[in-house]
Structure 1
Amino acid sequence: MQQTILTSFKSYVSQEQLFDTSQPILLAVSGGIDSVVLTHLFSKADFSFAIAHCNFQLRGEESLRDEHFVQQLALRYQVPFYTVRFDTHDYTTAHKVSVQVAARELRYKWLEEIRQQQGYHFIATAHHMQDNVETVLMNFCKGTGIAGMHGILPRQGHIIRPLLFTQKEVLLDYGKAEQLDYVEDSSNTTDKYTRNFFRHQVIPQIQSAFPGAVTNMAGTIHRLKEAEILYQQAVVVHKKRLLVKKDNTWMIPVLKLQKTIPLQTIAYEIFREFSCSPSQTEQVLALLGSESGRFVETATHRIIRNRQWLLITALEEEDAPVVVIEKGQSQVKCKEGQLQLRAVTLPHISASLNIACLDAKQVQYPLILRRWKQGDYFYPLGMIRKKKLSRFFIDQKLSLPQKEKVWVLESGKRIVWVVGMRIDNRFKITDSTKEMLLLEWTALP
């Protein structure tokens, strides 16, 4: 048995190109049978390795026992040993996560720190075939895209899993045949944790009906992993066809998306990049048949129906609501740009929307530079009747993201300039104007 497993182990490492066998590897060892067998195989294969152990201090004396056992294991194999003790309960409280999530985050962060500090090429964990099947079944039950069906990858970043080729029973038989000592984690016997429920209840029931279920599912997982490569290649093609970027906004033509096949899948893959959940993807697809102005907000983005487009913009923190400009100031800045002011006596004609020429006599200080708000109105240049800005924006065919970036300049509670667009007729230059206030807006990238 020893030679059979050892040969399969070496073959798997080579087949998956997990690491160069001359490179030193850091083994994550809990003291259980899986990690003990992993350590033994590394030793028998004459690979260079060290042992790292995390004490999460969740099981009192049992946690100390495990730490001591792994320390003795490192002495037996005469390899470097690293250990750490975590206050896991404090971490769960501070970060508002479960014990399982806390342990995983603490473990991998510390292992990566040791890997970098001590110069190990990879971190090896003892995940095996059953672990992989459990992961895929849990992902399937929670709801996942195809990425959740590839299970635990043999190599992911600096993490490698050299035991994915074999089953738990094989590891137990190997440990028994080699008379390997190991420790039992009492928390593994409870069904309180989701993974244990699948391990103790779900998979045994499946195996009672299909004895080869674990091996068969592992084979399917491998095929799905390869199918995912083809899947992602197709997704990239659709994204290039549908996504257009203009400044900081992503744009998708509504008609093109409507005609896309398969619509649900492509939409899911596109919009999940913008923190869109599966249920929100359905809401986004509903925008395809809605009127302009409707939108869906995710945790990070807003997806808006604007005429024949879906516009995707990042949610931003609110900028300062107003910028006060006193007389004599020549420049002010805000989030979208900067405004320069200067008094001039000579005529100045400009065709640029970013330059405004006002009758200085009509301007009262302080000036207020602020974002526009609902209810704002002004008298557009050339008109004697007032118009609400919301109506003016419709005439200008502004999208919602564009409207949100509009600033106005206010004087004496009257809007003198819709910045970069139109001045107010009441402040225009006339034949009696003796001094002008010249305003120049420079948008920031």
Structure 2
Amino acid sequence: MDLLTGFKIFIEKEQLFMPDQSLLLAVSGGVDSVVMAHLFKAAGYRFAIAHCNFQLRGDESVRDESFAADLARRLQVTFHQVRFDTEAYTESKRVSIQVAARELRYEWLEQTREQGGYSYIVTAHHMQDSVETLLMNLSKGTGIAGLHGILPKQGKLLRPLLFAEKENLIAYAAEHHIPYVEDSSNLTVKYTRNFFRHKVIPVMQEANPGTVVNIASSIERFREAELLYNEALQRHIKRLVTQKGNTYMIPVLKLQKTTPLQTVAWEIFRRYGCTAAQLPQVLELLNSGSGKMVETGSHRIIRDRQWLLITPLVEEQAATIVIEKERGVISTANGVLRIKTSERSAHTAIPAAVTIACLDKETLQYPLLLRRWKQGDYFYPLGMRKKKKLSRFFIDQKLSVVQKENIWVLESAKRVVWIVGLRIDDRFKITPQTKELLTIEWEAY
């Protein structure tokens, strides 16, 4: 089968685009992208050419830019071009040259696609590129998601040459007398991809000349296996993970009985910043006591009774908020207090909701303080004459570690007035002698 026929069959098989859609081809001037442009022309598809000059190779970069422009003229298609100060971007963003070039390239291509009304961006990644990607992913330990290599279609990106070997593209260029340019940076092995291209794959091919084609065939099966894997994984996640607000809850017993534990746990916890090195620490929480935790780059995973709780790391809010008499609304990271004063009458109804505190205003001294609770705090629970430590009260209420961390207390003259949203102190309750009420309502986010 000739390359053009294979090209058309692959596009139809993968359902990459509709024949009437207009596409934006990223063309560097090398054999891969130039042959791709000629295949699009020969197949009768609508397209334009886009070229990025990263200004990293002096005259060679100018040569490539001129070549791409001339190619667009010869193929009679629209040409888009841009020049980047890649080194300045690298310094300002503190990234490698490779990362800088990739970010600049795809951001500009997407802008050009939108402005030009093109349906997709098309790149000339071929079979060997996909095999290199798989091997690089294996060496980094990316798991099953790394085994699918380069996908033919990903969002607005298309790769219609993944069916073709590099040597087929070179042969097509020679047969049809298609000129192209060579990028000298492709010969260096200081870049990871080039190291695999020039050092790793050739050694593998010495042992088995069919290495690239065989791995490419496996990639097809890996892609389908990944679909089955993800279907099973989603069933496990649905069974194990419950969300309440910004907290995710996983029952310890259910997770312990899950098979395969390592795989399911990794796929769950890596979504919350857990690294492969941290996974054993997380699994140790299954056999630890309450209060033990592992902190990832973005979350905390906490053992709390029969649960593992996953909460995002947040910046610490001010420990104390001063409330003067005139303040009516106080906002916090996890809720808002609304305060109002009213006269007591014989018909005044006292709300029963724990989120509303009705207090005898005369018993309070301003300013009031709203702060996080701390060890050693105590109060006299409503209806009781004995004091009780807040830590003991929280145990009786069966609050989780995360719930305790989010507790506010209202304080007056160094006395706890209200454990916000839970219980008021008996010393500040409404009595028959109360003349003026202070009503405070708590609305949690």
TM-score using structure 1 length: 0.94
Once the 2 structures are TM-superposed, how far is the Cα of residue 246 of structure 1 from its aligned partner? 2.6
**CA RMSD between the two structures:** 1.8
Report whether the alignment pairs 1:340 with 2:342: no
Report whether the alignment pairs 1:83 with 2:81: yes
Indicate the SS of the match to 2:278: helix
Which residue identity lines up with residue 235 of structure 1 in the other structure?
L
Contact 1:329–1:341 (8 Å) recurs in 2: no
Which residue identity lines up with residue 427 of structure 1 in the other structure?
F
Specify the alignment match of 2:225 in structure 1: 227
Which residue identity lines up with residue 434 of structure 1 in the other structure?
T
Contact 1:283–1:296 (8 Å) recurs in 2: yes
> How do residues 378-397 of structure 1 correspond to structure 2 at under 5 angstroms?
378-397=379-398
Once the 2 structures are TM-superposed, how far is the Cα of residue 328 of structure 1 from its aligned partner? 4.0
Once the 2 structures are TM-superposed, how far is the Cα of residue 405 of structure 1 from its aligned partner? 1.6
Specify the alignment match of 2:281 in structure 1: 283
Q: d(CA) in 1 for partners of 2:271 and 2:109?
A: 29
Once the 2 structures are TM-superposed, how far is the Cα of residue 417 of structure 1 from its aligned partner? 1.1
Contact 1:341–1:439 (8 Å) recurs in 2: yes
Once the 2 structures are TM-superposed, how far is the Cα of residue 359 of structure 1 from its aligned partner? 3.1
Q: d(CA) in 2 for partners of 1:386 and 1:49?
A: 79
- Please give the per-residue CA displacement for 1:44-66, whole angstroms capped at 9, x wherever unaligned: 11111110001111111211111
Q: d(CA) in 2 for partners of 1:10 and 1:329?
A: 71
- Please give the per-residue CA displacement for 1:355-394, whole angstroms capped at 9, x wherever unaligned: 2233322211111122223443333334555443333322
Q: d(CA) in 2 for partners of 1:201 and 1:330?
A: 70
Which residue identity lines up with residue 97 of structure 2 in the other structure?
V
Specify the alignment match of 1:239 in structure 2: 237
User: Which segment drifts farther, 280-289 or 137-146?
Assistant: 280-289
Indicate the SS of the match to 1:115: helix
Report whether the alignment pairs 1:361 with 2:359: no
Which residue identity lines up with residue 424 of structure 2 in the other structure?
I
Contact 1:416–1:423 (8 Å) recurs in 2: yes
The partner residue of 2:109 within 111, 128, 132 is 111
User: Which segment drifts farther, 87-96 or 61-70?
Assistant: 87-96
The partner residue of 1:322 within 301, 320, 323 is 320
Once the 2 structures are TM-superposed, how far is the Cα of residue 399 of structure 1 from its aligned partner? 0.8
Q: d(CA) in 1 for partners of 2:48 and 2:329?
A: 62
> How do residues 126-165 of structure 1 correspond to structure 2 at under 5 angstroms?
126-165=124-163
- Please give the per-residue CA displacement for 1:264-312, whole angstroms capped at 9, x wherever unaligned: 1111111222222222232221111111111222233222111111112
User: Which segment drifts farther, 245-254 or 30-39?
Assistant: 245-254
Report whether the alignment pairs 1:444 with 2:444: yes
> How do residues 117-266 of structure 1 correspond to structure 2 at under 5 angstroms?
117-266=115-264
Which residue identity lines up with residue 408 of structure 2 in the other structure?
W
- Please give the per-residue CA displacement for 1:172-196, whole angstroms capped at 9, x wherever unaligned: 1221222221111111111110000
Q: d(CA) in 1 for partners of 2:94 and 2:377?
A: 43
Contact 1:33–1:172 (8 Å) recurs in 2: yes
User: What is the aligned-residue identity percentage?
Assistant: 61
Once the 2 structures are TM-superposed, how far is the Cα of residue 22 of structure 1 from its aligned partner? 2.0
- Please give the per-residue CA displacement for 1:227-256, whole angstroms capped at 9, x wherever unaligned: 111111111111111112233322111111
Specify the alignment match of 2:302 in structure 1: 304
Report whether the alignment pairs 1:409 with 2:410: yes
Indicate the SS of the match to 1:401: helix
Q: Specify whether residues 114 and 390 from structure 1 end up closer, same or farther in structure 2 by C-alpha distance, changes over 3 A only.
A: same
Once the 2 structures are TM-superposed, how far is the Cα of residue 144 of structure 1 from its aligned partner? 1.2
Q: d(CA) in 2 for partners of 1:99 and 1:68?
A: 23
Specify the alignment match of 1:7 in structure 2: 5
Contact 1:35–1:126 (8 Å) recurs in 2: yes
Contact 2:329–2:336 (8 Å) recurs in 1: no
Indicate the SS of the match to 2:258: coil
Q: d(CA) in 2 for partners of 1:276 and 1:243?
A: 16
- Please give the per-residue CA displacement for 1:106-159, whole angstroms capped at 9, x wherever unaligned: 111111111111011111101011100000000000001211110100111111
Indicate the SS of the match to 1:279: coil
TM-score using structure 2 length: 0.94
Structure 1: gaps (5+ residues): none
Q: d(CA) in 2 for partners of 1:227 and 1:328?
A: 64
User: Which segment drifts farther, 99-108 or 125-134?
Assistant: 99-108
Indicate the SS of the match to 2:358: strand
Q: d(CA) in 2 for partners of 1:389 and 1:51?
A: 69
User: Which segment drifts farther, 314-323 or 247-256?
Assistant: 314-323
Specify the alignment match of 1:428 in structure 2: 429
